[in-house]
Amino acid sequence: MLSYLGRSTLQKLVTLFFVSVISFLIIHLAPGEPSQIDPLNPKFTPEIVERMRKEFHLDKPLYSQYLLFYRDLFTGRIVSWKDNQPVLGKIWERFLNSLPLFIVGTLLTWTFSFPVGIRSAIGRDGVYDKSTTFLAYLLISIPGFFFAYIMIILVVTHLHVPVIGMETFGVTSASPLVHFMDRTWHLVLPSILGATGGVAVLSRYVRSQMLEIIGQDYVRTARAKGLSVETVYYKHALRNALLPFVTMFGLILPGLIGGSVIIESIFSWPGMGRMAYEAILARDYPIILTVNFLTAVLVLLGTLVSDLLYMVVDPRIKL
C-alpha cells in the first residue's frame, strides 16, 4: 500500500513535470508575444516594449524563463501580466464564484443519473428505457450554447426572472430574502446546463453497469430463492453496481477548476472559465499556465484518489 503510494506519487510527479514543460513550450513557441498584442497603441514605444519584455523576462532564453516562472509559481509571487495582481489570489476569487455552479451541477448530475439509470436497466427495452436512451443522446448531442439560448428564451419569457450574471445589479440593498432568491435564480440555468451532459453520460453508465450485474448468476440465484424483486435489485445488485462510481468521486475533482468557458461567457458568470478565456485573449501567460498546471495537479490527484478509493471499497483489488 505505502509502496504503491510512493511509486505512483513519483510517477505522477514526473508526468506533472512533462505537463509543465509541454504547456510552457506550447505557449511560448506560438507566434506572437504579449508585448506585441496592441501594436497600434501609441503608448507602446520601442523603449516601453523593451522594458516590458525585461519585466516579464521575455528577453531571457526559454529555459531560464521556465525556471523563473515555476519559481514564482511555487513561492506564490506570480503576478498577472495584465493588471499586476497576484495570480493565485485572482484564481481563488474566481474559484469561489465557480464553486456554487460546480456544487449544484454535481448534485444535480448525481441525484438524477442514478434513479434514471437504474430504472431503465430494470425495465430494459421498455418504453421508459427507450425514451430515456433517446433523451440521453439528445442531451449529449445538443450544443451547450444552443441549449442555453433555448432555456433563456423560455425562462425570460415565461417566468420573468433575471438570468444573466451572478446577481442583479444593486440587489444587495434589497432585503436578504430577495437577495437570496435573486442569487438562486441566477444559479439555476447555468448549473442545469452544466449538469445536462453529465446526467446523460452518467445515467447511461449507471444503466450499463446495472445491466451487467443483473445478468450475473448470483442475481439469478437470489431471484430463484424467491426473494422479492426489490430486495434483489436494490440490496444484491445495486450495491455491486455502485462500485465503479465510488472511483468517480476522484475523477470529478478536475471539474473544480474547469468551469465551462462557453456557459460562463453566455451567462456573464465571473468564474474560472471566463477568467481563463479572458487570459487567453489578453495573452496573460501566467494565468494560462497556472490554470493549466492546477488542472493537471487535480487530474493526477483525482486518479490517485480514485485508485485508493477503489482499493478501500473493493477488497479484491490489490495494488
Nearer to other proteins, 13 or 174 (CB): 13
Q: Which one of 146, 170, 173, 175 is in contact with other proteins (CB under 8 A)?
A: 146
Beta-bridged to residue 79, according to DSSP, are 86
Q: How far apart are CA 283 and CA 293, in angstroms?
A: 16
Interface region with other proteins, contact rule CB under 8 A, candidates 113-121, 170-178, 218-226, 296-304: 296-304
Longest dimension (CA), the chain: 87
| 17-46 binders of other proteins (CB under 8 A) | 18-19, 22-23, 26-27, 30-32
Residue 253 CB, shortest distance to other proteins, in Å, is: 12
Q: Which stretch binds other proteins (CB under 8 A): 9-17, 168-176, 244-252, 305-313?
A: 9-17
Q: How far is the CB of 130 from other proteins (least distance, A)?
A: 9
Query: Which CB, 195 or 294, lies closer to other proteins?
Result: 294
Task: Return the residues of window 223-262 that contact other proteins according to CB under 8 A.
Answer: 254, 258, 261-262
Contact 87, 79 (CB under 8 A): yes
Q: Is the dihedral of CA 81, 84, 87, 93 positive or negative?
A: negative
Judged by CB under 8 A, the number of residues near other proteins is 46
296 touches other proteins (CB under 8 A):
yes
Ranges within 152-181 binding other proteins (CB under 8 A) = 152-153
Q: Of the two residues 58 and 142, which places its CB atom closer to other proteins in the complex? A: 142
Q: Which is nearer to other proteins, 10 or 229 (CB)?
A: 10
Question: Using CB under 8 A, which of 46, 61, 176, 226 touches other proteins?
Answer: 61
Per-residue x/- track, 265-294, other proteins (CB under 8 A): x----------xx--xx-x----x--xx--
Q: Least distance from C-beta 225 to other proteins, angstroms?
A: 26
Site residues (vs other proteins, CB under 8 A)? 11, 14-16, 18-19, 22-23, 26-27, 30-32, 61-62, 134, 137-138, 140-146, 149-150, 152-153, 254, 258, 261-262, 265, 276-277, 280-281, 283, 288, 291-292, 295-296, 299-300
